[in-house]
Structure 1
């Protein structure tokens, strides 16, 4: 796939944005920013997406030839070490995007050890009764309060499993693959509806594995389809196919993508919830979520650079360009006349039910778009 001039411009702007964010936050961790005010809301520990910022720094350091950024990405990985024992599904994201990728980049064994410790810790969370991966008793996402070893969300096919793929390749321990399959297949059975939409949360009886109820935390209503959850599902099943090459996971990814494309705008950007009743009344007033589209774009970019690319995946890889180009309609550039810095990904929606950062620049949206463009530019993934 040709790396277009517009993509290079966006990649340059995103790297510049990493630098401007770094200057604004100091030793804190970026979370979200209101593009009108331009002030970053930060955390002291990275919250659920600290690993994403580590990888943003590493990529910018590599592309800009900045050793100081590479050094900071390694140092911030060490700062995350203290959260290894937190009973939190997002440990997999936290240590995959930091420790696992730091090991691939530096070859330093301390990062491999840290990533493997995270992988085994997360894998141990699985419910013995049905193999479901829960959110955990200490799950950390600002603005939410839910937790528990009996609670499972659609997200879990990506955040919970991402270290499984890496750890299996490092160790050959089939526990990672067997556990991932159990959760993926359970999620197909319980979370994916006939039309290709997904539920957000399900509570299970941890002892028997029986499904108790479904509901939403970040969606419009209990039977709705929260678009960032749909994005995690798409990315999770396509990643499972990438790693295992099992046709049912590619088929599921395509089914979920079909629903997305049928219900998103012309740029592939979804509403914050596909089933928000207000869409029919006044769709222009319903927030979009570019961060959800960026999650999908990152996984599409991964597949598009596979060599050789199997024929059955071409239908998926062919969507990459439209997702990237769609997202770039929401990225500020140097030619803009609104006095905003270049490289801001606009219209991210974090938590619409609480009207929290619901039309904002979200650090994970920036990260996933940066990752996607990096893969397409270099033709490789550091892992």
Structure 2
């Protein structure tokens, strides 16, 4: 009997060592053990903008990434097919939000208003990503009421891609992605629903709200596995709405767990609950958030795909961490139990502390806020780089945290 007990202890110890690179990120952590220097992290962002802005003078382009080994933003044309165009003006709106300095508002206006023609885009779903961080944040943060009609037109353009037979907004055109022949919906599309919810509350057609809810319901039903991890791409039959295939475009494999895809889900369903107050969305947001947290390494920044995370040579994705950090702060205010409130809030603090650390901060290294994001390794590009949307969700999270601390 004594031998059996010793053997059991050894086996448990071995298992603990095997998973020593992970911690239980779903447990409650005492806040006084997590110290985020919020002022320093905001100041770091502002100082980085001071360095970058004099170099970003071509209004026909926007910063998208900083390649490994480079220090300056690679700028890409403001093309209707480039989904990242709204994030840089969004960064500037949040810079104004967290500092109150008019110069950032002026810069944000200048960088936002070059995109007005994008309000009629119907070729793809990314009009939400393109218009809401720019015009939406300008309306909310900058008090720019003149942006209202532009946003309403943008919402109408997005809604035109909704297929009632399927119950989702079509993500891409088949010309852009010929691998998939029918109606395609990607998990990323959850974030574009924010534009529809905003429009429904601000004078737009009530159908915008209904479309957003239906899209969220259909995605909740079909886009997640039994363990609450997400597929990236679903292909539906355009006529009857049945699922034809489940794929990936940016993950490791069709059936792998792409970390930013899970992050889009966490943010998306937290936002959908925020807009609807329907408890089924809150419960689902918690389930997929808890799954995400359970898969994280100790530093709270996932590998670009959870299924390759055990290989230390695989690259990280700070953009996924930034997206979730922002969502966690909101989620912590929606859940009812004190334990869950503390759990999500502290997970957000721990993530932000990690992102602001020497390991991920770009201060003194490059012109961005963050380093070590991965956009699409499976496609062979944006591997271990700075990404503009990582910076956007990072400064959004800092803005949310500042507001939360201001209420206490």
Cα deviation for residue 115 of structure 1 reads: 0.7
Q: Secondary structure at the match of 1:42?
A: strand
What residue number does 2:63 align with?
A: 30
Q: Does residue 365 of structure 2 align to residue 340 of structure 1?
A: yes
- The CA distance in 1 between the partners of 2:116 and 2:338, in whole Å, is 37
**Quick one: which of 271, 283, 289 aligns to 2:317?**
289
What residue number does 2:6 align with?
A: none
What residue number does 1:191 align with?
A: 223
Q: Deviations over 1:163-189 (max 9, x none)?
A: 122112212743122111211111122
Contact in 1 for aligned 2:93/2:137 (Cα 8 Å): no
What residue number does 2:245 align with?
A: 213
**Which piece of structure 1 moves more, 74-83 or 59-68?**
59-68
Contact in 2 for aligned 1:13/1:343 (Cα 8 Å): no
TM-aligned CA distance change 1:312 to 1:93, over 3 Å:
farther
1:64-213 equivalences under 5 Å are 64-86=99-121, 87-137=123-173, 150-159=183-192, 161-171=193-203, 173-213=205-245
**Which piece of structure 1 moves more, 131-140 or 216-225?**
131-140
Q: Does residue 384 of structure 2 align to residue 353 of structure 1?
A: no
Q: Deviations over 1:133-191 (max 9, x none)?
A: 11133999xxx8878871111111222x1112211221274312211121111112211
Q: Secondary structure at the match of 1:284?
A: coil
- The CA distance in 1 between the partners of 2:111 and 2:182, in whole Å, is 29
TM-aligned CA distance change 1:302 to 1:149, over 3 Å:
farther
Cα deviation for residue 369 of structure 1 reads: 0.8
Q: Deviations over 1:227-270 (max 9, x none)?
A: 11111111111111111111111111111112211211112211
What residue number does 2:351 align with?
A: 326
Aligned length: 369
> Unaligned 5+ residue runs, structure 1?
none
TM, length-normalised to structure 1: 0.87
Contact in 2 for aligned 1:137/1:147 (Cα 8 Å): no
- The CA distance in 2 between the partners of 1:128 and 1:135, in whole Å, is 14
What residue number does 2:72 align with?
A: 39
TM-aligned CA distance change 1:344 to 1:101, over 3 Å:
closer
**Which piece of structure 1 moves more, 351-360 or 339-348?**
339-348
- The CA distance in 2 between the partners of 1:343 and 1:122, in whole Å, is 30
Q: Secondary structure at the match of 1:275?
A: helix
- The CA distance in 2 between the partners of 1:364 and 1:9, in whole Å, is 21
What residue number does 1:254 align with?
A: 286
What residue number does 1:8 align with?
A: 39
- The CA distance in 1 between the partners of 2:181 and 2:393, in whole Å, is 28
- The CA distance in 2 between the partners of 1:66 and 1:35, in whole Å, is 32
Contact in 2 for aligned 1:300/1:316 (Cα 8 Å): no
TM-aligned CA distance change 1:332 to 1:342, over 3 Å:
farther
TM, length-normalised to structure 2: 0.82
TM-aligned CA distance change 1:356 to 1:344, over 3 Å:
same
Cα deviation for residue 291 of structure 1 reads: 0.2
Root-mean-square deviation over aligned CA pairs = 3.0
- The CA distance in 2 between the partners of 1:120 and 1:152, in whole Å, is 18
Q: Secondary structure at the match of 2:131?
A: helix
- The CA distance in 1 between the partners of 2:342 and 2:179, in whole Å, is 36
**Which piece of structure 1 moves more, 49-58 or 197-206?**
49-58
Q: Secondary structure at the match of 2:250?
A: coil
Cα deviation for residue 197 of structure 1 reads: 0.7
- The CA distance in 2 between the partners of 1:317 and 1:133, in whole Å, is 35
What residue number does 1:20 align with?
A: 51
> Unaligned 5+ residue runs, structure 2?
1-30
- The CA distance in 2 between the partners of 1:138 and 1:12, in whole Å, is 44
TM-aligned CA distance change 1:106 to 1:263, over 3 Å:
closer
